[in-house]
Amino acid sequence: MITRRAKTMYYKFGEIKNKIISFNGFEFKVSAMKKHDGISIQIKDMNNIPLKSFHVVDLSELYFATDAMRDVINEWIEENT
């Protein structure tokens, strides 16, 4: 389960926002950058090693990226424990 704090935020184009998320007791870094054609999202482990990047332009792609992010994190946990 991914846990995060709910907070309304407004992003400027090109601005990168970083969050640390917890998933099954492990922490990961998520970076998001608003672009003119959508949002780029990258997930990294706590050693700043990129695990996966996503580019989303609508809500359905965001749901797909969220599911894919869970899969990537579960794979990382399986490989590193």
pLDDT digits (tens, 9 = 90+) for 22-79: 999 999 999 999 998 999 999 999 999 999 999 999 989 999 999 999 999 999 999 9
Q: Which domain holds residue 29?
A: 2-80
Whole-number Cα distances in Å, 21 to 18, 27, 36, 37, 57: 10, 6, 26, 25, 22
Q: Which 3 state secondary structure label does DSSP give 2?
A: strand
Asked if residue 4 has pLDDT above 90, the reply is no
- The rounded distance, in Å, linking the Cα atoms of 39 and 32 is 7
Instruction: Decide if 41 contacts 30 (C-beta within 8 A).
Output: yes
- The rounded distance, in Å, linking the Cα atoms of 2 and 66 is 10
Provide the pLDDT for residue 7. Answer: 54
**Domains in the chain: how many in total?**
1
* pTM score above 0.95: no
